[in-house]
Every structure is written in structure tokens, then in C-alpha cells.
Amino acid sequence: MSRKMRVTLALSIIALFGTLLMACGNDKDNNAVSSASAPAADPTPTTTASASASETAEAPASERKMTDYMGHEVEIPVSPQRVIFVGETFSDLFVLDVKAVGTSTSMAADTVYEDRIAGIEDVGFPINLEKTTSLKPDLIIIADTDEKAYEQLTKIAPTIMFDTFAPLEDRLLLLGDILGKKPQAEQWLADYTKQEEQLWTDLRAAGLKPGETASVFTYYPGDRLFVMARTGLSQVLYSPNGLKPTDRIQQVLDANSGFEQISTELLPEYAGDRIFILNPYAELTDAVQSTEELLQSRIWLDLPAVKAGNVYRLDIKSSGSDALSRQWLLEELPKLMAK
């Protein structure tokens, strides 16, 4: 895999642009499927126990029915043992003490948890069907709304389309339920909530005022400026005790969107009291150049947050929505905002 492709894939796992901006699968390869997921309608997933006809009244059910967020009714194992998970929130599995047998390892490139995927088989990107079959999964979880990809994977093992854009608490509790790890999910979330509350207590003691607003911006190749809403760092900042979105960003949140492309002329309407800039990958030279040009522009220099020195820069690779990245951000934010 070329460095350019690896960077493109790594960007996708952060879910800042969703996998709408990821490369499409190669239709000429019958052993691969595309992985182009995007936020979609969100029917509430449900699970119900389901025993086979051969099970006695005394025997516990080995399978149960679940309806995923795209409306597929799936028979899944009660206690899956060989899980393949392909999505930008892969580290959610680590906090549930689940080690997947396979994933798209390129999606973990340059993340805070990259070193933890050693020993997990790479199913490729696009997903290689032959490799997936060889791992003998009993459950496949994908951040993908491509029905063609879904149908191909269901021939290998029960497959769930999973909403990786969902809020951390909703997402982790559902994943814990699916994997038979709900107590672990509840405990981790309780610990995370305490860390989160302590973060905002410390920041307010350091001078953060109630009601302050925040914005997160980043550039993508093609001189495209995006404001983040329902993804990554924004999810941390807009927690109940945290910073507030501006009115224009609230509109994006109300539309259930992860992000929105804006023109630089509209920047003042989206800019908050505190601004966070996500640094593009160095290899994306046009995005890097666009970022630096913006930071020297008159429209940028005139923003109140810039004049007040309330601007913070963070590498985009560290701004994921996954559990371990979220935990890392809680530790990093006080250091970042103290600069």
C-alpha cells in the first residue's frame, strides 16, 4: 500500500468526513468489497433472544435476533468469539476487553492505539472476502451502509451495520450488548464520565467561563474547509459540562451531521470563543498549505478568538471518536489549552 493511500485511509478512521470521502471499492476484484459508510437514518437497534428448534427448555440460547441501525434483522451469537470489526471506532473493542480476529489495519495507522493492533489480522481495504472467510468469523461488524458489501459479507457470517457516528455512550452500550460485554461497557463509561467531569472542573478552575463556545475546523485536499459537529474532538468539547457550539454549528448538529463544508467568508459565523484547528497529515500538502494561508488571512486574524489567543492546534490523527482516542483527548486538552 502506498503512503498516500495509507494516509487517506487513516484519515477515514477519524470519521471527521465519514467514509464518504474514502476511496470506492474496486468492482473488478471479486474478492473485495467497498467500505464507504456515511451517517444514515437511525432506527433504534434491538436484540431479542432466539433459540433454535433443537434447543431444549433447559439449554441456553446460542443465538439471538438483532435489528441493526439500517433495519437488517440478524441472527447473532449470544457470545461471539471470533469478531471482525471494520470501522473508525475500532478501539471501542479494546475497552470492552475484546480482541478482534480481523480488521482493516490501515484504518488504525497513526492513531493513539496503533501499537495495540499487533496480532490482529488485516482483512484489507476494501475488505478482502477470501481473507475474511479464512478467519472463520462468527460475527462481522462494519461501519458501512453499502448493501452490496453487506450481502457479500452475510454469506460468510452474521453481519451487522454499526453506526460509528453514534454518541459514545449509546455506541459503547450497544456494542457491549452485542458482544456480551455490557458490564464492561457500563464500568468503562462510568470511569470515563468521572474523568470527563474532572476535566471540566479543572478547566473552569483555570479560567474557562460558563457558556463559552467552541469551534473545530480542518482542511481537506481541494481547498475544502470543514467545520466539525458530530465527530471526534467536537464530541468531547460539546459534552454537557463542556463548551457550547455556536448557533451555526448547532444547526449542523440538529441536522445530525458529522461535519459541514463552509466557505472562508462564513468563518466568522461559525467561529466560537475558542477555536481548535486540526492539522492535516503532512503528506496532504495542499490541505497543509490551505491551513497556513487561512491562518495568515485577514478574515482569520480579525476573529475575536484569534485576537484573544484562544486558538489551539491538534493533529487530525489524534482526534478520533473511538473510545481510546476520546480518553486520550481528556488527558491532552488541559495541556493543549494551557499553552
Q: What is the mean pLDDT of residues 230-249?
A: 93
| Domains contained in the chain, number | 2
Q: What is the mean pLDDT of residues 25-45?
A: 41
CA–CA distance, 324 with 316 (Å, rounded to integer)? 15
> Are 201 and 277 members of one domain?
yes
> Are 171 and 28 members of one domain?
yes
> Are 191 and 168 members of one domain?
no
> Are 150 and 267 members of one domain?
no
Grid cell locating 114: 496503533
> Are 239 and 277 members of one domain?
yes
Q: What is the mean pLDDT of residues 4-23?
A: 40
> Are 219 and 158 members of one domain?
no
> What was the pLDDT predicted at 102?
98
> Are 218 and 132 members of one domain?
no
Last residue of a domain, one of 115, 147, 180: 180
CATH label of the domain that carries residue 152: 3.40.50.1980
> What was the pLDDT predicted at 281?
87
Last residue of a domain, one of 180, 211, 243: 180
Range of the domain at 46: 3-180
**Between the CA atoms of 50, 55, 60 and 63, what dihedral angle is there, to the nearest 10 degrees?**
-30
Last residue of a domain, one of 180, 204, 222: 180
| The residue to which cell 488485516 is assigned | 122
Residue 73 has pLDDT above 80, yes or no: yes
Alpha helix ranges (H) inside the chain: 3-13, 92-95, 129-134, 147-154, 168-178, 182-205, 232-237, 247-254, 267-270, 285-295, 298-301, 304-307, 323-338
150 neighbors 40 (Cβ within 8 angstroms): no
> What was the pLDDT predicted at 257?
84
Residue 110 has pLDDT above 90, yes or no: no
174 neighbors 96 (Cβ within 8 angstroms): no
Compute and round to an integer the Cα radius of gyration of the chain: 21
Q: Strand 83-86 to strand 139-142: parallel, antiparallel, or no bridges (unpaired)? A: parallel
Higher pLDDT, 45 or 228: 228
Q: What tens digit of pLDDT does each residue of 194-237 get?
A: 999 999 999 999 999 999 999 999 999 999 999 999 888 999 99
259 neighbors 38 (Cβ within 8 angstroms): no
> Are 173 and 26 members of one domain?
yes
Q: What separation in angstroms does the CA of 166 have from each of 24, 40, 42, 160?
A: 23, 10, 9, 15
Q: What tens digit of pLDDT does each residue of 111-157 get?
A: 999 999 999 999 998 899 999 999 999 999 999 889 999 999 999 99
> Are 25 and 167 members of one domain?
yes
> What was the pLDDT predicted at 46?
59
> Are 266 and 324 members of one domain?
yes
> What was the pLDDT predicted at 56?
44
- pTM recorded for the entire structure: 0.81
> Are 165 and 286 members of one domain?
no
Q: What tens digit of pLDDT does each residue of 304-318 get?
A: 999 999 999 999 988
Q: What is the mean pLDDT of residues 150-178?
A: 95
> Are 192 and 171 members of one domain?
no
